[in-house]
Amino acid sequence: MRIDSTSELETNMPEAARKDPLVLFMPSGKRGRFPVGTPILDAARSLGVYVESVCGGRATCGRCQVSVQEGNFAKHKIVSSNDHISPIGPKEQRYASVRELPDGRRLSCSSQILGDLVIDVPQDTVINAQVVRKAATDRVIERNAAVQLCYVEVDEPDMHKPLGDLDRMKAMLEKDWGWKDLLIAPHLIPQVQGILRKGNWAVTAAIHRDMDSSRPFIVGLWPGLKNEAYGVACDIGSTTIAMHLVSLLSGRIVASSGASNPQIRFGEDLMSRVSYVMMNPDGREAMTKAVREAMNGLIGKVCAEGEIDRHDILDMVVVGNPIMHHLFLGIDPTELGQAPFALAVSGALQYWAHEIDIEVNRGARLYMLPCIAGHVGADAAGATLSEGPHRQDKMMLLVDVGTNAEIVLGNRQRVVAASSPTGPAFEGAEISSGQRAAPGAIERVRIDPETLEPRFRVIGVDKWSDEEGFAEAAAAVGVTGICGSAIIEVVAEMYLTGIISQDGVVDGAMAAKSARIVPNGRTFSYLLHDGEPRITVTQNDIRAIQLAKAALYAGIKLLMEKQGVDHVDTIRFAGAFGSFIDPKYAMVLGLIPDCDLDEVKAVGNAAGTGALMALLNRGHRREIEETVRKIEKIETALESKFQEHFVNAMAMPNKVDAFPKLAEVVTLPERKVMADDSEGGGRRRRRSRE
């Protein structure tokens, strides 16, 4: 085989080789010339085109299906035809009669190249789907899972060659599949004899080829042909645990689901959980147990949904912020609660899943992505893997807003990362009428610039508050508070309509213009909804949002300085928060730097997507390990300029930075100076690690 990517290459070939049929595999576009009679599967493998096979060419597993694209592919100088592939032989016929072989499909192990071909490796089915399409990102994940299923037929015991059953099986796995120096999970050793005999000397071994030992490991063993294996990708968030259940053979996502992190009962946010550990001798253990139990429960849920046995799960990838990461692994997170915020371990880790009490197959492995820094965890590593600043030329800003925002900025040349102590304001805490995103919460707000009258939308209600029938529709859920996305919007709208100054002060003079501006002690509030409860935005609420957004922006600014750039090319909001906020309002508020609004995208649970990528392709594990090693970590607390950036970022959008691209689409108010705009930084820093 010769890889045939340029015609120049071809002209340098020997005459005979040039006459060999040319085979193009789609959608990878890889192609090469192969002698007549080469099995399609062998051709694909030699080009690095991923085609699964469990039975090893016995035409029994059906995993290696492909189809021929007929036609004249002028661009590739290929005339592809079903005449250029060997006719269906007895092995394929037998498979088609026993199982099912869709029209046009061929078993690549049993069909040979007779002439030029364009071969389609199916992407979209349970069988042979080579890719996973992630709705949120529409990204293709090439499959190269750590676990491979390998069917072998083992020699029966022979008194003349008294090699043990296991040893003969290993010999066959080497002979048929090329596995050298195979190890075996200890729990399987006592089972080998029984499984071999039950399978009448034919077994399927699950080989894990991404053990940290670097030697391949037999992690599962079944009598006869075992044709499916699953994996789990999991993101442990402080509030929510999110999980994908996926076929390791086809890449198909079988189920995706989430569950509350039960650690909430020990503390709402991260730092209160660290405090709980510090105050309670059994606190760490209790929280470790809680999160592991929740994960086991969630595995049960996705398995029920996908109708699979949890013991068919053979591989797992887990991400989480540093405190979730430590608690999940049973590590005391106390050090993360105080400077120097020392991680117990930062590198990627591998376990047997049972070692951390996860109830799946006894031979399942669990891979934890590396942590980037004390407050930039394996979740940020997952998001980085997913969004790939390191894979592109654009300067990408990746932000995951939580109690601590994790910020990554970079491109192919260089990636820097930091965390910023935004506090819980964006999540509705510290806000007088704040609440979690739940039915009844206001999620969208618009303020009429003339009348200063608001209109809003409530979660669970289709209509805007000024539309007919809203009151009736909202009666069921009520109007109970403001959630994170609406907090951003209402403050931004208050700024755009002049209710607050650039410095965030509610203009009491406006009270004359609108009854919505109401006095509240020495300051003024904005009455958003005069119901039960009465929902207002107070001066303190605005200060809380300013502190939060200033902390985030200051962190971003430090990273931009490290990179030596005065703008970013593209912005990704990761996490639930980012999915609901309107990029325009985030920018009006000065949460993020100026950028083409089309380049600001919410990417949902990017950490979970990264975990999924590392699950489906072990190459991505090496990629993120290497990337994290290279990422330069900035500790915002140690940067002398943080304070200055922070103070500037208290203003809306910013005291010094221009927002020219934003200004193209939004008319920003003239600067309007009022008293009381110096507060902030000092107080903020004291709470910085909450």
Using CB under 8 A, list all residues that contact a copy of itself: 156-167, 170, 183, 186, 189-190, 192-194, 211-215, 329-332, 335, 339-347, 349, 351-352, 355, 371-374, 376, 633, 635, 637-638
Separation CA 668–CA 683 (nearest Å) = 29
Q: Which two tokens stand for residue 684?
A: 């903020």
Give me the least distance between CB of 525 and a copy of itself, in Å please: 40
Nearer to a copy of itself, 182 or 242 (CB): 182
Helix (H, G, I), strand (E, B) or coil at 435: coil
Nearer to a copy of itself, 565 or 637 (CB): 637
Give me the least distance between CB of 608 and a copy of itself, in Å please: 23
Classify residue 162 as exposed, middle or buried by CB count within 10 Å of its CB (0-12, 13-18, 19+): exposed
Give me the least distance between CB of 650 and a copy of itself, in Å please: 25
Helix (H, G, I), strand (E, B) or coil at 17: helix
Nearer to a copy of itself, 81 or 350 (CB): 350
Give me the least distance between CB of 239 and a copy of itself, in Å please: 24
Q: Which two tokens stand for residue 231?
A: 């994996």
Give me the least distance between CB of 637 and a copy of itself, in Å please: 7
Instruction: Give the number of other Cβ atoms within 10 Å of residue 577's Cβ.
Output: 23
Q: Which two tokens stand for residue 131?
A: 């890719």
Helix (H, G, I), strand (E, B) or coil at 1: coil
Contact in structure between 195 and 132 (CB atoms under 8 Å): no
Q: Taking Cα atoms as reference points, which of 529, 538, 443 lies closest to residue 488?
A: 443
Distances (CA, A) of 415 to 187, 215, 466, 629, 630: 43, 32, 46, 10, 8
Give me the least distance between CB of 184 and a copy of itself, in Å please: 8
Nearer to a copy of itself, 213 or 260 (CB): 213
Nearer to a copy of itself, 124 or 167 (CB): 167
Contact in structure between 664 and 490 (CB atoms under 8 Å): no
Nearer to a copy of itself, 8 or 282 (CB): 282
Question: How many degrees, rounded to 5, is the angle at CA 505 between CA 550 and CA 553?
Answer: 10
Nearer to a copy of itself, 186 or 619 (CB): 186
Taking the C-alpha atoms of 569, 572, 573 and 576 in order, what is their torsion angle to the nearest 10 degrees? 170
Helix (H, G, I), strand (E, B) or coil at 151: strand
Give me the least distance between CB of 502 and a copy of itself, in Å please: 33
Give me the least distance between CB of 219 and a copy of itself, in Å please: 14
Q: Taking Cα atoms as reference points, which of 627, 623, 604, 602 lies closest to residue 613?
A: 623
Give me the least distance between CB of 240 and a copy of itself, in Å please: 25
Q: What is the DSSP letter of 596?
A: -
Nearer to a copy of itself, 67 or 419 (CB): 419
Nearer to a copy of itself, 343 or 551 (CB): 343
Separation CA 600–CA 205 (nearest Å) = 46
Give me the least distance between CB of 273 and a copy of itself, in Å please: 16
Give me the least distance between CB of 574 and a copy of itself, in Å please: 20
Distances (CA, A) of 340 to 588, 636, 674: 34, 12, 39
* Paired residues of 208 in beta bridges: 147, 217
Distances (CA, A) of 533 to 49, 465, 480: 61, 16, 6
Give me the least distance between CB of 410 and a copy of itself, in Å please: 17
Nearer to a copy of itself, 364 or 592 (CB): 364
Nearer to a copy of itself, 211 or 429 (CB): 211
Distances (CA, A) of 259 to 154, 233, 244, 631: 44, 14, 12, 31
Nearer to a copy of itself, 85 or 624 (CB): 624
Contact in structure between 417 and 479 (CB atoms under 8 Å): no
Question: How many degrees, rounded to 5, is the angle at CA 330 between CA 327 and CA 331?
Answer: 75
